[in-house]
Chains A and B, each alone.
Chain A
């Protein structure tokens, strides 16, 4: 069974750094891309970016390029999403998800498995 288990909720102040995680099991982590998706309070879903743990090839949505860093530890079967300086506008639920599709490099993928989400609250 494919499982994606995310780290607990976080409460941070503006300007602080943060790394949240997504630990996977039930499949070969290094052989599948893994993505991050944001959901702001009461809003829809936004694709942030994706990483291939096998070689750390990472692609970002233009909306999130330079705002976050996606990484992966292929030996620990875990993906990470990191901020160096949080803003109040980063307050949201963040999901990791496993993409599936015909051509990952061309962006032809949907998400067949999801983590439970990590709620990030940034407030002074």
Chain B
């Protein structure tokens, strides 16, 4: 089973700043099969990024994904108050697919 380690645990930033979230799989992903989700309190997760760098439908271009192998990054440019949420990565390289532990983004 691939373990996904997300860091930092919590990120506290001001509006307009850039957030950089990390996701590191315990083994290399063969085909960039990595997705990112946003989950706000009391809501279901929402798909942001799939295939490591492709934005899902309706996701603003402030959100971008990059990386390969064992090092993936979600970048949120120009943070807005509505970006306050927990962000999860998920691999789908093989079964069982797993999620990371999440990074909480707080907007000051």
Residue from B44, B50, B95 within 8 A of A110 (CB atoms): B50
Most A CB within 10 A of own CB, among B31, B56, B96, B102? B96
Cβ–Cβ contact B98 & A47, under 8 A: yes
Residue from A61, A106, A110 within 8 A of B90 (CB atoms): A110
Size class of the contact patch on chain B: 20 to 34
Neighbouring A residues of B96 by C-beta, 8 Å: 47, 61-63, 107
Residue from A47, A95, A114, A115 within 8 A of B97 (CB atoms): A47
Within 8 A of B (CB), among A108-124: 108-112, 114-117
How far apart are the CA atoms of A47 and B37 in the complex, in Å? 14
* Nearest B-chain residue to A63, judged by Cβ: B96
Instruction: Classify the secondary structure of B's interface with A.
Output: loop
Cβ–Cβ contact A115 & B95, under 8 A: no
Neighbouring A residues of B31 by C-beta, 8 Å: 108
Q: How many residues of A contact B (CB 8 A)?
A: 23
Q: Nearest Cβ distance between residue B28 and chain A, in whole angstroms?
A: 15
Neighbouring A residues of B83 by C-beta, 8 Å: none
Is A59 close to B, CB under 8 A?
Answer: yes
Cβ–Cβ contact B101 & A110, under 8 A: no
Cβ–Cβ contact B56 & A112, under 8 A: yes
Contact code string B91-108 (vs A, CB < 8 Å = 1, else 0): 011111111111000000
Cβ–Cβ contact B45 & A108, under 8 A: no
Residues of B within 8 A of A (CB): 31, 33, 35, 37, 44-47, 50, 56, 88, 90, 92-102
- Ranked nearest first, the 3 interchain pairs of A and B with the lowest CB-CB distance are A107-B95, A110-B35, A114-B44
